[in-house]
Amino acid sequence: MRRKTLVAGNWKMYKLSAAARELAAAIRQGLGSEQRVDVAICPPFPWLTAVAEVLRGSPIAVGAQNVYPGNEGAFTGEVNSAMLLDAGCKYVIVGHSERRHVIGEKDQFLNDKAKAALQAGLHVIFCVGEKLEERDANKTEAVLDNQLTWGLKDVPAAHAPRLVIAYEPVWAIGSGRNATPEQAQQAHVFIRWRFSQLFGNEAAEKLVIQYGGSVKPDNAASLLSQPDVDGALVGGASLQADSFLKIIRAAVV
Ligand code: PEP
């Protein structure tokens, strides 16, 4: 089955407002009416509305990089799903390795975020991936299993179609060292198999699994040509229109 490819740019904590608008406008212009690949960009919170304005009427979706699993209330500094939807978001990234390993978010909290965002109607890009020492100790599948089991616990099957999984080996993020296409394919097959156990074969066949970790214009095509690599979550290379557009074009088969 041919799944539609999703290329998403994670801008992390980069860009001030003018640069964010310019980048979104350049991506919009460069992409034209291309619709064979789904494209999303995930700017920092303060620029979500401005970027959504720039992208209005285009095929490019907006995503947030984080969400808090609550309704409105006394949660200083947090942003909930209703606010993200109101700001124009379709997607939200949950479980990025920087939130797991730098900020210290745990499976239970990530599970609460995923459930709340899905319940609200957002599409969730749920990130999983092993650290280098875990890969070296042959624990990659055990780590992925754990992150999927606890991170997606009690997600209703009806919400599975709005889940995207991003396989992002921690050792490949921002390091310039990407997984080989074979390593990515192997991990994606495992993720799809585990997802089928959780949500059934049909949902697993339709599941978009992105690869993330130092995706660049020169390695995108070989990664994206793997049968179970259905897109890319791009950090560094999404910060320039030229490199991001080249990755999107590599995804057009
Ligand atoms: C990411 O931020 O999810 C990521 C994969 O970053 P980079 O492409 O810079 O490795």
In tens, the pLDDT along 186-209 reads 999 999 999 999 999 999 999 999
Read out DSSP for the chain? --PPEEEEEE-TT---HHHHHHHHHHHHHHHTT--SEEEEEE--GGGHHHHHHHHTTSSEEEEES--BSSSSSS-TT--BHHHHHHTTEEEEEES-HIIIIIS---HHHHHHHHHHHHHHT-EEEEEE---HHHHHTT-HHHHHHHHHHHHTTT--GGGGGGEEEEE--GGGTTSS-PPPHHHHHHHHHHHHHHHHHHH-HHHHHH-EEEEESS--HHHHHHHHTSTT--EEEESGGGSSHHHHHHHHHHH--
Kindly indicate the confidence band of residue 253, based on its pLDDT and cuts at 50, 70 and 90: low
In a domain, 91, yes or no: yes
In a domain, 52, yes or no: yes
> Active-site residues: which are they?
96, 168
- Mind listing the pLDDT tens digit for each residue in 50-82? 999 999 999 999 999 999 998 899 999 999 999
pLDDT given for residue 205 in this prediction? 97
170 CB less than 6 Å from ligand 1?
A: no
What is the position in ligand 1's atom list of the atom closest to the CA of 12? 2
In a domain, 242, yes or no: yes
* Domain that residue 229 falls in: 6-252
124 CB less than 6 Å from ligand 1?
A: no
In a domain, 103, yes or no: yes
- Number of domains the chain is built from: 1
In a domain, 1, yes or no: no
Kindly indicate the confidence band of residue 85, based on its pLDDT and cuts at 50, 70 and 90: very high
CB burial of 179-196 (b: ≥16 within 10 Å; e: otherwise) equals bebebbbbbbebbbebbe
pLDDT given for residue 177 in this prediction? 84
Kindly indicate the confidence band of residue 161, based on its pLDDT and cuts at 50, 70 and 90: very high
Is pLDDT above 90 for 9? yes
5 CB less than 6 Å from ligand 1?
A: no
How large is the average pLDDT for residues 174-178?
A: 85
Whole-number average pLDDT of the chain: 96
In a domain, 64, yes or no: yes
pLDDT given for residue 2 in this prediction? 73
2: exposed, middle or buried (Cβ count in 10 Å: 0-12, 13-18, 19+): exposed
Percent of the chain surpassing pLDDT 90? 93
Question: Do the Cβ atoms of 158 and 95 come closer than 8 Å?
Answer: no
Percent of the chain surpassing pLDDT 70? 99
CA of residue 49 to ligand 1 center, whole Å: 23
CATH code, domain carrying 96: 3.20.20.70
- Mind listing the pLDDT tens digit for each residue in 113-149? 999 999 999 999 999 999 999 999 999 999 999 999 9
CA angle 94, 96, 98 (to 5 degrees): 135
In a domain, 193, yes or no: yes
pLDDT given for residue 227 in this prediction? 96
d(CA 152, CA 215): 26
In a domain, 34, yes or no: yes
